[in-house]
Amino acid sequence: MTGLSARVDSWLWAVRVFKTRSAATAATRSGHIRVNGDRAKAAQHVKAGDEVRVRIAGFDRILIVRDILSKRVGAIVAVEAYTDISPPLPAPEEVAMLPRRDRGAGRPTKRERRDMEKLRGRTTDELG
């Protein structure tokens, strides 16, 4: 353990969730990172026991911080720094079944949007 807390972007880079620190910072600025349920800023610190949600390629990855790292380490050591409680990714066959809109087709109608959310298993209340 190198310290009591570390910046969230630095920690995500150190545990190899992102290839570069700048990619981790960009994801944080874009709102794809949440710490304990709240949207995180790049300079926000994480400590042991925090829950970090990372949105990558449309799916959430949920990590519980076990060890604080500020320097990038090998993959074997990095995996020991967190507990991954993410739900399993859907099978490629299930992803292929989701309807895709043609590029340039415009915004979906209200009915189309509700149908897409229903297929994804989310309700409009969860989208908030």
Summarised one tens digit per residue, pLDDT across range 70-107 is 899 999 999 999 999 998 887 777 666 666 778 888 88
Give the Cβ contact number of residue 63 at 10 Å: 21
Domain boundaries, the chain: 6-84, 92-127
Tell me the C-alpha to C-alpha distance, in Å, between residue 92 and each of 1, 86, 103: 38, 17, 21
Q: What is the pTM of this model?
A: 0.72
Phi, psi of 6, rounded to the nearest 5 degrees: -150, 155
Here the tokens at position 103 are: 């590029």
Q: Which helix (H) or strand (E) holds 33?
A: strand 33-35
Q: CATH for 6-84?
A: 3.10.290.10
d(CA 102, CA 125): 27
